[in-house]
Structure 1
Amino acid sequence: MRSSIIRGTSYLAARSAIGFAVGLGGMLLLTRLIGAENYGLYVTISTVISYMSDIALMGVSNYIIRKEEVVGRSLYDLAFTFSLLASIAAIGVGVGLSFFLSGWLHSPEIRLPFLITLVALPISALLLPSQTMLEKELNYKQIAFLEMHTQFVYYGVALALAYAGFGIWAPVIGNIVQGAAAVVIGCKYAKYLPRLYWSWKPLKEMLQYGIANSVSKRIWGLRTLINPLIVGHFAGPGGVAVVSIAMRLIQALSVVNGTIMRVSFSVLAKLQQDKRRMELALNEAMTMQVFSIAPFLIGFAALAHWVVPLMFDDAWDAILVIYPFLAFKYMIYGIFNLQMNVLYVYGKNWEVTKFNLLHVGMLALLTFLLVPYFGLNGYAWAEVATIGTYYAIHRNVSESLNVDYREPFFYTLICVPAMFAPMLSFPWALLLLLPLLLFLVMSKPRNQIVGYSRQLLKKEKTLEAV
């Protein structure tokens, strides 16, 4: 199973590494061509509509992936049909929402591009069955190619239109074309063409799990709306753009971390009947998460004083201030998000839902209270303050499994000081790198990293062993 995670992750990580270069370069060019205000408005549009799309899909893909028995074509067709109808219904809701957004954000110019993007919402339903089929079969190599190719399509279209002076319409049109391309490529890889199918009995079972799973995740997804709706209300589109780019940098630097999370749900689902193997997989995966994310976040922090001015102008200096706090939060999130996957696998959706309500509610409240007085620093502090809510996840998982935090927490404590290097001037920032010397004198972490690297380089097709 370790090999399956590492090899499966390697495909997505390689894609993400390429995507990081393409996405970062494309994002910088796009932001400069259309301006920070337009980019902030587009982030708001894409975030809100992506959230609406996730609600419409109702978690049916996770229901199919979680099923241990072989899934027939009719279930994929049913998932497509339901998601298509739900997406169409969401368009009606979005029309009314467009008036609220323009008033709350004091940006009437957001309404038309929001509505045009909204009309393309059913594209997600067209892509759902083929992508679900690939993920259930652990076919991450083709998923990686799918995501990489569509990313090229998006930036190719968006940058060309931005250069031609289309403003905010450049990323809007690029996003729609990207979605259409993803449907074509996904159907080709999965050898599947969506078709309409309806049956009440399997739909009821699908929605019993899917709605519970979706409600839990959509509550968690509300945190993505805090930046465009709360930060945007107080700091404007420019503030939304700064927070969004800082988070995009962290997510891009966490290429392996994100892909481990994606692969882990499918792999852990295969271990749900074996408690001992589930414990071993979870405890080792938490350490893998630390090793997968820390080097990249620390590397950027060490170079941030030179990299950020090179990539951005003086208006983006706030990235240096909020980056360390958001990076620290993301490290902890990576460890506990694995435990959330365990709860989903065991069908304990309500336990995750209660945690999500607590976490998102606290983040929203603190952001609302702090940003008006402390600006973007207030948002960063609010993110760190919500780390305490992860105790609720630990308490639920520890009722079923023996969770060992010693290694991941110890390695995290060694790595975190270096992430705050951007807050000190050179050469004083180098002092924060000193705790990393422990990795050089301790044999166990070196051996673990070497072991993971060797498995990553194996040539055999270990995914088939799953």
Structure 2
Amino acid sequence: MTEDDSGGLQPADASEDSSRPDLIGEFAASGLVDAEGAALGDQETQDAGPNPESIGTTASRGFLWANVGVFTRYMSALLLAAVLARTLSTADYAVMVTLMVVTFYFDNALDLGMGAALVYEQETGISERVQVAFTANLGVTAVLAVFSFFVAPLITAYYHLDGYTNIFRALTVVVILSGLTTIPWSLFMRSMNFKARAGVEVSRDLTRVGVTLGLVAAGKGAWSVILGMIAGYSVWFVLTWLVVQFRPRLRWNLVIVKELFAYAWRMAGTRLLGVLALNGDYIVVGNRRPDQYPMYYQAFRLPEFILGAQLNAMSAVLFPMYSRIRAEGKVAMRDALYKALRLVALFSIPVGIGLALLARDGILLMYGSDSAVSVQTMQILSVTGCVVGLGYATGDLLFAIGRPGVMVRINSVMVPLMLGAMWIVAPYGIVWVATVHLVTA
């Protein structure tokens, strides 16, 4: 691993590609692998055998397994949203929504791009760089754990959830478990071992759903949600360490930290702004329209489950795939991008329009309500998903070529404008908030 003239990292020599049947088989058939099935590049040395698997096949299989994990994650969230809408009080349900939102922000803050830097570099094994990244992340975890404990009263005050402070203080346990898992978890993506990753995800999500619903049946109310999360994150932490065979060693090397952070800080900025772009609306609606806050969450769930799950699964494969194919040069990268864009468009546009047409039936079936506000909001968000999906293919390419700063510059302008507009229109209802999403997509 060396530094280039600009101080950025030059990755270890590696290459790989992506495919995606259905959105999958066409990837393999459309040229990411040649007519004889030859890969665009060799796999990592430790994975290659006498008859190394083609990059297209590896990425195709990776997408399938990534879908398994993503499906259980989104399906569990959708199931809980539907069941708890019928069993929890309005206030407890708002607590559930806020816990999901706040946890999402903490999970993204815990990485600071270190895991993405390890994927970008394409090393193999649990090297000193991995241990240094883990050690650095422990420091971040400690800071965020303390912060989450003391910020709990501010969260409940902001979202008008008086009396629930201790539940949000319990998020400290979730933050610690997530911080201990973040770096080992990134090793699944680096090696494109999505089969093992899917097994861990399924176990985590089934545990969370089972514990949550069991406690709800026992009458534990909003505490059921946070205790279910703690149970799920505990399983995630234990199984990730076991499957990856991660043995932590505290290591600190300032040179390595600087090398990793040269890429990671741009990735962290991109991730933070991306999170705000996709989920900043909850911050606005939760404060400005608390009466419509649960309805907005419900309207978001179905498009997120159908569109978001597939696009996130694809993104999980595209980033390491682009990182591996990078050594093949600009032509190979360009061809891979065009194919990814075509496949995303073929999926997201018809599915988004279909979801908009089925919004009324979907809301009624899932939540037992046919609120016109929820239906209109879901329709607009579904159409928005048609456009947002195209950004997944291009964003991952920029990450893989070491230019996440481009996305930072774009989003640093767009995100404040979007959130400002949402803040202004939110008092008029969540339909207007969704409209801002569509206009700024």
- TM-score scaled by structure 1? 0.77
The one of 415, 420, 437 aligned to 1:360 = 415
Contact 2:276 2:415 in 1 (8 A): yes
The one of 340, 343, 356 aligned to 2:398 = 343
Q: How many residues align?
A: 385
Which residue in 2 is equivalent to 1:308?
363
Structure with the higher fraction of residues in helix conformation = 1
* 1:264 maps to 2:299: no
Note the 1:59-70 alignment, pairs <5 A.
59-70=113-124
1:100 Cα offset (Å)? 2.5
The one of 264, 283, 297 aligned to 1:229 = 283
Note the 1:362-377 alignment, pairs <5 A.
362-373=417-428, 375-377=429-431
1:317 Cα offset (Å)? 4.2
CA separation of 1:50 and 1:19: change in aligned 2, threshold 3 A:
closer
Note the 1:292-307 alignment, pairs <5 A.
292-294=347-349, 296-307=351-362
1:14 Cα offset (Å)? 3.5
* 2: CA distance, partners of 1:72 / 1:192: 8
Which amino acid counterpart does residue 285 of structure 1 have in structure 2?
A
The one of 61, 65, 69 aligned to 1:7 = 61
Which residue in 1 is equivalent to 2:210?
156
1:71 Cα offset (Å)? 5.0
**SS in structure 2 opposite 1:126?**
helix
The one of 327, 346, 370 aligned to 2:382 = 327
Which residue in 1 is equivalent to 2:298?
245
Contact 2:353 2:386 in 1 (8 A): no
Which residue in 1 is equivalent to 2:226?
172
**SS in structure 2 opposite 1:195?**
coil
The one of 32, 43, 47 aligned to 2:101 = 47
Shift >6 Å, 4+ stretches? none
* 2: CA distance, partners of 1:59 / 1:145: 24
Which amino acid counterpart does residue 219 of structure 1 have in structure 2?
L
* 1: CA distance, partners of 2:341 / 2:97: 31
* 1:87 maps to 2:158: no
**SS in structure 2 opposite 1:267?**
helix
Contact 2:159 2:286 in 1 (8 A): yes
Structure 1: give runs of 5+ residues left out of the alignment: 388-466
Contact 2:148 2:171 in 1 (8 A): no
Which residue in 1 is equivalent to 2:178?
124
Residue deviations 1:94-146 (CA, integer Å, cap 9, x gap)? 34432332332332223221111124312112212321111111011111121
CA separation of 1:306 and 1:48: change in aligned 2, threshold 3 A:
closer
Contact 1:220 1:357 in 2 (8 A): no
Which residue in 2 is equivalent to 1:416?
none
* 2: CA distance, partners of 1:18 / 1:91: 27
| Worse overlay, 200-209 or 40-49 | 40-49
Residue deviations 1:282-336 (CA, integer Å, cap 9, x gap)? 1110111123334544444444333322322337543211112111222211112
CA separation of 1:217 and 1:20: change in aligned 2, threshold 3 A:
closer
Which amino acid counterpart does residue 389 of structure 2 have in structure 1?
G
Structure 2: give runs of 5+ residues left out of the alignment: 1-16, 20-27, 29-55
**SS in structure 2 opposite 1:121?**
helix
- TM-score scaled by structure 2? 0.81
* 1: CA distance, partners of 2:371 / 2:175: 32
Work out the percentage of aligned pairs sharing the same amino acid: 19
Contact 1:47 1:224 in 2 (8 A): no
CA separation of 1:215 and 1:19: change in aligned 2, threshold 3 A:
closer
Contact 1:78 1:199 in 2 (8 A): yes
1:182 Cα offset (Å)? 0.4
Which amino acid counterpart does residue 324 of structure 2 have in structure 1?
K
* 1: CA distance, partners of 2:305 / 2:279: 19
1:221 Cα offset (Å)? 1.7
* 2: CA distance, partners of 1:365 / 1:323: 21
Residue deviations 1:322-378 (CA, integer Å, cap 9, x gap)? 1121112222111122211122222223221111112211220111111112x0111
1:7 Cα offset (Å)? 2.5
Which residue in 1 is equivalent to 2:161?
107
CA separation of 1:34 and 1:270: change in aligned 2, threshold 3 A:
same
